[in-house]
């Protein structure tokens, strides 16, 4: 995945994650054959596969450079089409095809539009070469109506024949014909999903749930009365005839429209969209609980107890870390916990996390403690790991857990300086003046970074903190390039 001709520089890889879901979770031999197809593609790394007995479904996660990821995804779909017969499939999870979904996820060096183009290219190939109906979804969708996967998959496999006969549901690629063996496949592009858990110094699930409901986008039922410090102990507020109560304040309206107008003016949101997101009909709210907003968008959260760790956890899926990054969710959780007399002992990332997430977190905590952000990438990551307590219940190996970390590449990178000097002295033209100049330049930039970073720690330069950080960051870039 690297260019061996480079003599020594930091390279940000182009990395894409792909998470195909296959409609087979019981036949381990069959699953292995699909995974073997993925691993046979050079430049692809298998991260995980999770077969489910009750769902009869396997979720596979792999990463690679864009071209390799596209090829591996196609081969996996092809193999699944050969091996899986959807006419005999039964399972608890919603599905419509042998390969149900194929999402591409930007990790490093690629954009969401890049992933959307990948989805279109792979979807086109699946449709044309394998004859499987393909629907594009989320960021790859051709129309807004097809962005929502649940809407695209509505009716599932059993309703697919009828869906394909409807001109409004003509596939984006492939034939508008029902293939009982393969079904249809959804190919899309979405943001990276981070599975993130926050550990508490208690085994009481109610306490974890109380905080989880404050954090999640869905929010919670509004309560009154005994809500401090534990909100769940209060009395639930319900909508009444001619009395529509605001979830965020004490304001009431005689109609939902009146309440929605107040909500927009006072709290800056669309109440119609909010209740639609929750799944409630605004024309039939009497007797239903009033909802209070959650604090973070793109966050799903519940409270549970992990017996293995002897702790209650706030278990979350962060579906867009660019909107709600883990470190900001954690800081709010710490504040909520402190109000309740609870201590956050640490956190856990299940699976892997993009480098960009850890970089943002590390820089946040460095700035908060008034330390320079112009330090090596791995130092920034380590700051994030320690600040977020990521080694509280399990080991956190940066090389295994963080993907897309900038890496030094090239044959000279790992040589000792004394060995490099010896190599220069030999009767060979390379390494020569260019490599020597590069080393001298890198050392000079490192020295500049050191001076800026030492200055950050001196009181007389406090007013120049931002400028010094910027200088140190620029020096780090020169050093690495």
Pull the structure tokens for residue 369.
């403690």
What positions carry a catalytic annotation?
93
Mind listing the domains of the chain with CATH numbers? Answer: 14-189 (3.30.990.10), 220-292 (no CATH), 297-407 (3.30.70.670), 415-480 (no CATH)
Q: Cα dihedral angle (382, 386, 388, 391), rounded to 10 degrees?
A: 100
User: What pLDDT is recorded for position 409?
Assistant: 72
Q: Give residue-wise pLDDT tens across range 376-428.
A: 999 999 999 999 999 999 999 999 899 989 877 777 777 888 888 888 888 88
Contacts (Cβ under 8 Å, ≥6 apart) of 297: 217, 320, 323, 324
pTM: 0.84
Tally the C-alpha atoms within 13 A of residue 49's C-alpha that lie toward its C-beta.
Answer: 24
Chain centroid, CA 476 distance in Å: 27
User: What pLDDT is recorded for position 417?
Assistant: 84
How far apart, in whole angstroms, are the C-alpha atoms of residue 36 and residue 26? Answer: 17
What mean pLDDT, rounded, does the chain reach? 93
Strand locations in 53-110 (E): 57-64, 99-108
Q: Give residue-wise pLDDT tens across range 261-286.
A: 999 999 999 999 999 999 999 999 99
How far apart, in whole angstroms, are the C-alpha atoms of residue 169 and residue 167? Answer: 5
- Give the helix/strand (H/E) hosting 324: none
DSSP assignment of 224-246 equals: ESS-SS-GGGSEEPB-BTTBEE-
Distances (CA, A) of 11 to 369, 397, 407: 29, 21, 6
How far apart, in whole angstroms, are the C-alpha atoms of residue 100 and residue 139? Answer: 17
How far apart, in whole angstroms, are the C-alpha atoms of residue 456 and residue 472? Answer: 10
Q: What does each of the 481 residues of the chain score in pLDDT, given as a tens digit?
A: 333 344 455 556 799 999 999 999 999 999 999 999 999 999 999 998 989 888 899 999 999 999 999 999 999 999 999 999 999 999 888 899 999 999 999 998 999 999 999 999 999 999 999 999 999 999 999 999 899 898 899 999 999 999 999 999 999 999 999 999 999 999 999 999 999 999 999 999 999 999 999 999 999 999 999 999 999 999 999 999 999 999 999 999 999 999 999 999 999 999 999 999 999 999 999 999 999 999 999 999 999 999 989 999 999 999 999 999 999 999 999 999 999 999 999 999 988 999 999 999 999 999 999 999 999 999 999 999 999 999 999 999 999 899 989 877 777 777 888 888 888 888 888 888 888 888 899 899 999 999 999 999 899 999 999 999 999 999 999 998 8
Q: Is 63 helix (H, G, I), strand (E, B) or coil?
A: strand
Strand locations in 76-161 (E): 99-108, 134-138
How far apart, in whole angstroms, are the C-alpha atoms of residue 324 and residue 192? Answer: 12
How far apart, in whole angstroms, are the C-alpha atoms of residue 247 and residue 237? Answer: 9
């Amino acid at each position: 995945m690297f260019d061996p001709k480079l003599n020594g520089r930091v390279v940000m890889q182009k990395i894409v994650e792909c998470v195909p879901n296959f409609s087979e979770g019981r036949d381990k031999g069959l699953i292995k054959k699909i995974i073997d197809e993925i691993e046979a593609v050079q430049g692809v790394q298998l991260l995980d596969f999770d077969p489910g007995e009750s769902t009869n479904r396997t979720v596979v996660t792999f990463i690679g450079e864009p071209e390799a990821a596209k090829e591996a995804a196609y081969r996996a779909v092809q193999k699944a089409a050969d091996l899986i017969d959807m006419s005999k499939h039964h399972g608890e999870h919603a599905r419509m095809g042998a390969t149900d979904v194929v999402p591409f996820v930007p990790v490093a060096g690629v954009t969401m539009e890049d992933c959307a183009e990948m989805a279109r290219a792979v979807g086109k190939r699946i449709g044309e070469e394998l004859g499987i109906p393909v629907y594009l979804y989320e960021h790859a969708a051709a129309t807004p109506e097809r962005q929502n996967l649940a809407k695209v998959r509505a009716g599932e496999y059993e309703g697919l024949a009828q869906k394909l006969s409807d001109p409004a549901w003509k596939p984006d690629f492939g034939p508008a014909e029902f293939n009982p063996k393969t079904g249809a496949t959804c190919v899309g592009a979405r943001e990276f999903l981070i599975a993130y858990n926050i550990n508490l110094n208690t085994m009481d699930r109610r306490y974890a749930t109380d905080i989880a409901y404050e954090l999640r986008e869905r929010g919670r039922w509004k309560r009154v009365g005994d809500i401090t410090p534990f909100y769940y102990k209060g009395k639930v507020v319900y909508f009444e005839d001619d009395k529509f109560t605001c979830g965020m304040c004490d304001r009431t309206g005689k109609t939902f429209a009146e309440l929605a107008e107040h909500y927009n003016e006072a709290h800056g949101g669309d109440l119609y969209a909010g209740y639609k997101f929750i799944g409630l009909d605004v024309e039939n709210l009497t007797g239903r609980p009033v909802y209070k907003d959650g604090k973070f968008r793109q966050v799903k959260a519940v409270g549970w107890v992990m017996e293995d760790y002897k702790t209650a956890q706030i278990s979350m899926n962060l579906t867009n870390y660019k909107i709600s990054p883990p470190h900001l969710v954690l800081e709010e959780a710490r504040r909520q916990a402190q109000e309740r007399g609870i201590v956050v002992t640490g956190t856990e990332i299940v699976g892997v996390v993009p480098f960009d997430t850890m970089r943002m977190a590390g820089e946040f905590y460095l700035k908060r403690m008034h330390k320079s952000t112009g330090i090596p990438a791995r130092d920034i990551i380590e700051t994030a790991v320690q600040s977020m307590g990521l080694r509280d219940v399990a080991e956190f190996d940066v090389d295994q857990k963080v993907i897309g970390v900038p890496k030094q590449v090239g044959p000279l990178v790992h040589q000792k300086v004394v060995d490099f000097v010896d190599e220069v002295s030999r009767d060979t033209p390379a390494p020569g003046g260019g490599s020597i100049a590069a080393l001298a330049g890198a050392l000079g930039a490192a020295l500049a970074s050191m001076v800026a970073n030492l200055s950050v720690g001196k009181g007389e330069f406090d007013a120049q903190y931002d400028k010094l950080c910027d200088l140190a960051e620029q020096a780090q870039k020169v050093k690495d390039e």
